[in-house]
């Protein structure tokens, strides 16, 4: 009985988080948020996206592909202070850079992605990583800054994709 009650609470929280996130995004998009999620008006989502706590900061465009999954407390930062301006340590202007995330990407818990980064299809980013530069398709990357340290089995990946075996 307690397990059934917990499931109902999780469903309610997911409905609440998803409803809040939909207030911040334009268009009709179907996705699921199981934790506090704040998207932006310049966010474009593919199908079947799952967020477990995700925040986008800044005015840059963010494109997220199909079958995206994030761990808790992930953050994308598309805007930063201009440190090459006319004042120190930075001036009053901002530098805006877009972020692009391919299909079938999985971000572990507490991942931060900075502006100007492209994450390729099928990439896995290890928990706690800070992504400062682009990651190629099918890479498994991690660290601070995140670097590729392994690769997915390409044949296996494309077999699963062809069979449309998505989570």
Phi then psi dihedrals of residue 60, to 5 deg: -70, 155
- What are the Cα distances from residue 155, in Å, to 100, 105, 160? 24, 17, 9
Q: How far apart are CA 123 and CA 130, in angstroms?
A: 14
Please give the positions annotated as active site: 81
d(CA 106, CA 123) in angstroms, rounded, equals: 6
Residue 97: Cβ-neighbour burial (10 angstroms; 0-12, 13-18, 19+): middle
Q: How far apart are CA 113 and CA 102, in angstroms?
A: 14
Q: Which residues pair with 158 in a beta bridge?
A: none
Supply the DSSP symbol for 89.
S
């Amino acid at each position: 009985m307690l397990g059934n009650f917990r499931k109902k609470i999780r469903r309610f929280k997911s409905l609440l988080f998803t409803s809040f996130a939909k207030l911040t995004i334009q268009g009709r998009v179907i996705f699921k948020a199981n934790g506090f999620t704040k998207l932006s008006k310049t966010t474009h989502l593919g199908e079947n996206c799952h967020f477990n706590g995700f925040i986008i900061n800044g005015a840059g465009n963010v494109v997220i592909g199909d079958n995206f999954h994030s761990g808790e407390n992930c953050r994308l930062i598309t805007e930063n202070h201009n440190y090459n301006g006319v004042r120190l340590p930075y001036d009053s202007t901002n530098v805006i850079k877009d972020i692009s995330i391919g299909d079938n990407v999985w971000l572990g818990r507490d991942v931060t992605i900075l502006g100007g980064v492209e994450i390729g299809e099928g990439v896995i980013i290890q928990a706690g990583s800070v992504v400062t530069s682009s990651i190629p398709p099918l890479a498994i990357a991690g660290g601070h800054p995140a670097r590729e340290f392994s690769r997915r089995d390409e044949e296996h990946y494309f077999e699963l994709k062809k069979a449309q075996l998505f989570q």
